């Protein structure tokens, strides 16, 4: 399904103060892949996600979703294919009820109200919060807010789901729930996180970023146990994989 492919070619981006946060990244993500993007603080992960989503535009290079080049003009089309769950659910939820938040995207695309209702109820069911549909989003717990934010993206039925730190600030039970939920999404997933145990469980492929460049791109289980690589990129082999009798990692 080449129209679901996400391709990044020699991507570069500098902030207005001339700080170059992305320095020539290239990769291609195919339909159905689940890809983790990891790196130390300030490595350039959030900047990369904003370039993928067309929140920022590159100084050089390009992002293509299928055959469509991400530009200001193609953004409405791109936003129908790419859904992003922001790090802070409060950036995503702004209506008076959970229902209206989840309905916001489909209504924005002028779908008829019957279709909107169908999508909203389905998305709420998938994330396990149909009982919260009439509640005010700002009164929900952190885990409930995250579920509502994910539902607000799922109701757009994106081909590619992009998530910035989806498990940040969640208690173990909510974290587990969010992970199960994301695992059930069978389309392409791109996740940035410092939660490397989650990356290990959820992502088959991992791209490591170091100071705006790709330091490694490969099979997650091989990348995360590479103590030398992880150390050079300001990261650590996840505890669960240290001294692993199977892979032999010795950190
Ligand atoms: N608005 C901005 N203006 C100038 N520099 C910025 C701006 N936003 C981010 N940067 C810089 O760009 C680099 C990449 O930042 P980015 O937020 O993409 O990193 P990150 O990998 O997401 O970090 P973290 O894990 O801490 O969220 C950093 O050096 C950061 O200081």
ipTM of the complex: 0.98
The mean pLDDT value of the chain amounts to: 91
Residue 157 is assigned to a structural domain of this protein: no
Supply the DSSP symbol for 92: T
Residue 98 is assigned to a structural domain of this protein: no
Report whether residue 21 contacts ligand 1, using a CB cutoff of 6 Å.
Answer: yes
Residue 109 is assigned to a structural domain of this protein: no
The CATH number covering residue 15 comes to 3.40.50.300
Identify the band that residue 127 occupies on the pLDDT scale cut at 50, 70 and 90.
confident
Name the residue among 137, 204, 197, 139 with its Cα closest to residue 172. Answer: 197
Identify the band that residue 251 occupies on the pLDDT scale cut at 50, 70 and 90.
very low
What's the domain count of the chain? 1
pLDDT tens digits for range 214-226:
999 999 999 999 9
Helix, strand counts (H, E) of the chain: 9, 10
pLDDT tens digits for range 164-216:
998 887 888 888 888 888 887 888 999 999 999 999 999 999 999 999 999 99
21 CA from centroid of ligand 1 (Å): 7
Mean of the pLDDT values across residues 115-139?
93
52 CA from centroid of ligand 1 (Å): 15
Counting from 1 in the atom list of ligand 1, the atom nearest the Cα of 22 is 14
The structure tokens listed for 72 are 């200001």
Report whether residue 152 contacts ligand 1, using a CB cutoff of 6 Å.
Answer: no
Report whether residue 19 contacts ligand 1, using a CB cutoff of 6 Å.
Answer: yes
Supply the DSSP symbol for 34: E
Helix (H) or strand (E) holding 143: helix 142-154
Residue 220 is assigned to a structural domain of this protein: yes
Report whether residue 52 contacts ligand 1, using a CB cutoff of 6 Å.
Answer: no
- Alpha carbons 83 and 72: distance in angstroms, whole number: 17
Distant-in-sequence contacts of 63-71, Cβ < 8 A, 24+ apart? 63/6, 63/7, 63/8, 63/9, 63/11, 64/5, 64/6, 64/7, 64/8, 64/9, 65/4, 65/5, 65/6, 65/160, 66/2, 66/3, 66/4, 66/5, 67/2, 67/3
Residue 115 is assigned to a structural domain of this protein: no
Mean of the pLDDT values across residues 103-110?
92
pLDDT tens digits for range 56-85:
999 999 999 998 999 999 998 888 889 999
State the residue range of the domain holding 29: 1-73+190-234
The more confident residue out of 60 and 1 is 60
20 CA from centroid of ligand 1 (Å): 10
Identify the band that residue 246 occupies on the pLDDT scale cut at 50, 70 and 90.
low
């Amino acid at each position: 399904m080449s129209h679901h492919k996400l391709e990044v070619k020699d991507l570069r981006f500098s902030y207005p103060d001339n700080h170059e946060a992305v320095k020539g990244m290239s990769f291609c993500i195919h339909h159905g892949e689940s890809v983790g993007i990891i790196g130390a603080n300030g490595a350039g992960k959030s900047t990369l996600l904003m370039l993928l989503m067309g929140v920022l535009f590159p100084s050089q290079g390009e992002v293509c979703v299928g055959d469509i080049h991400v530009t200001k003009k193609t953004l409405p089309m791109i936003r129908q294919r790419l859904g992003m769950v922001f790090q802070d659910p409060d950036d995503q939820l702004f209506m008076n009820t959970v229902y209206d938040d989840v309905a916001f995207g489909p209504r924005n695309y002028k779908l008829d109200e019957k279709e909107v209702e169908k999508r909203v109820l389905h998305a709420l069911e998938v994330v396990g919060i149909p009982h919260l549909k009439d509640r005010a989003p700002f009164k929900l717990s952190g885990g409930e807010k995250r579920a509502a934010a994910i539902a607000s993206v799922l109701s757009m039925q994106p081909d590619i789901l992009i998530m910035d730190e989806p498990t940040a600030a969640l208690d173990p039970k909510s974290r587990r729930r969010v992970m199960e939920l994301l695992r059930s999404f069978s389309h392409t997933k791109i996740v940035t996180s410092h939660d490397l145990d989650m990356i290990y469980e959820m992502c088959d492929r991992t791209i490591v970023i170091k100071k705006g460049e790709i330091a490694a791109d490969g099979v997650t289980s091989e990348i995360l146990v590479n103590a030398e690589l992880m150390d050079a990129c300001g990261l650590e082999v996840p505890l669960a994989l240290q001294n692993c009798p199977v892979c032999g990692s010795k950190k």
